[in-house]
Each structure stands twice: as structure tokens, then as C-alpha cells.
Amino acid sequence: MVDEQDKKIISLIQGDLPLDPSPFALLAKKIGMDEDEFIDRIKSLKERGIIRRFGATLRHQEAGFNSNAMVAWLAPDSRIDQIGKAFARFREVSHCYHRAPQRDWPYNLYTMIHGSNKEECYQIADRLSRSTDLKDYELLFSEKEFKKTSMRYFPEKTHEKTI
């Protein structure tokens, strides 16, 4: 069960965290809560499966990664977990997904890789290929980014404590 306090917390943490040494203390204060209770409630949401993960989004162009590619791999079903875990260990891989192949598209494993240019992305894909002995893959380069935002599950409201 998600109560109103949980909804307020989710609303506050689903966007960017404040650039501050104590971001949770600042957010907790907005809803009249102390930092420890705020963090405990986030942990509870995670333990109850309401929050699956807590992550950060890298704005890769601002960090110097000017090229990215989705690499579509044709992996044997019997090795999907092993290969996915191997790919996930590469620092250049930000996402790794298993998807069902489609009639005209046989690929079933996907990695998003980031490099400083297209040539570096090809080199990264080659290293991934050699590390798992997968030879059948395609690089799909991003041409233009249209949107990069996180889901918003509860509308943002003013969370200022009223006195």
C-alpha cells in the first residue's frame, strides 16, 4: 500500500536530486520530515517492491561521450544470462536487455554502448564480441535524441510544509 507520504517521497525522488552534499535532507525538509525517516521510507518502498531500483542518468554528451549505439546481438538462448552478465561488466555498457526476436529481426540481446566517436563504438562492440565469442551483431547509432526524461508516477505538487 502506498500512502500519501510515500507518494510525496516518490514525487520528490523521481526527478533530479539537488546538487548538494545532503540531497535527501533537503527533500525531506520540503515535506516536514527528517532525513533518516525519509531514507528509511525509501528503503521500505524498495523492500516492498514499489521502487525497483534507484539510479542516475548520465547525460553522455556533457560527459564527453559524443557517440552511442544500440548493439543488437544474436545470442544462443542457453547462454543469454551468462553473456548478459559478461556485457554488463563493461564500463562502456549502460544498458543490457534480453528481448524476444521478431520474425524479420532475429536479435535477442541488446547493449547500449557509449564512446567518444563512432569508431570507438565499433571497437567497444568488437571487444564485447571477442569476450563472449558472439559474431552476429549490428550497431544501431543514435542520430538524434528527441526525449530523455524519467517517468513521472505522481504529478509534482508543491511539497512545502505549511505552518
The pLDDT score that the predictor gives to residue 57 is 62
Q: Which candidate, 127, 77, 134, 87, places its Cα nearest to that of 111?
A: 87
Write the DSSP string, 15-64. Answer: SPPPSSS-HHHHHHHHTT--HHHHHHHHHHHHHTTSS--------TTTTT
Q: What structural domains and CATH numbers belong to the chain?
A: 4-47 (no CATH), 67-141 (3.30.70.3460)
pLDDT in tens, 104-156: 999 999 999 988 899 999 999 999 999 999 999 999 998 777 766 666 677 66
Cα–Cα dist 21/116, whole Å: 30
**pLDDT confidence of 159, banded at 50, 70, 90?**
low
Whether 35 shows a pLDDT value over 80: the answer reads yes
CA–CA separation, 128 vs 136, rounded Å?
12
For residue 106, the tally of other CB atoms under 10 A from its CB is 10
Per residue in 39-72, pLDDT (tens digit) is: 999 999 999 999 887 766 655 556 556 788 999 9
Q: What pTM did the predictor assign?
A: 0.61
